[in-house]
Amino acid sequence: QVQLVESGGGLVQAGGSLRLSCAASGDTFSRYGMGWFRQAPGKERVFVSGISWDGGITLIEDSVKGRFTISRDNAKNMAYLQMNSLKPEDTAVYYCARHNDLWGHPSSNWYTYDSWGQGTQVTVSS
Residue 41, phi then psi, degrees to nearest 5: -55, 130
Average predicted confidence (pLDDT) for the chain: 96
Model pLDDT, residue 118:
97
For residue 21, pLDDT over 90 is answered with yes
Q: With bands split at pLDDT 50, 70 and 90, how would you rate the model's confidence at 64?
A: very high
Query: What pLDDT band is residue 79 in, cutting at 50, 70 and 90?
Result: very high
Structure confidence at residue 9 (pLDDT): 98
- pLDDT of 105 strictly over 90: no
**pLDDT at residue 40 greater than cutoff 90:** yes
Could you tell me the CA-to-CA distances from 48 to 21, 26, 57, 71 in Å, in that order?
14, 24, 14, 13
pLDDT at 98: 97
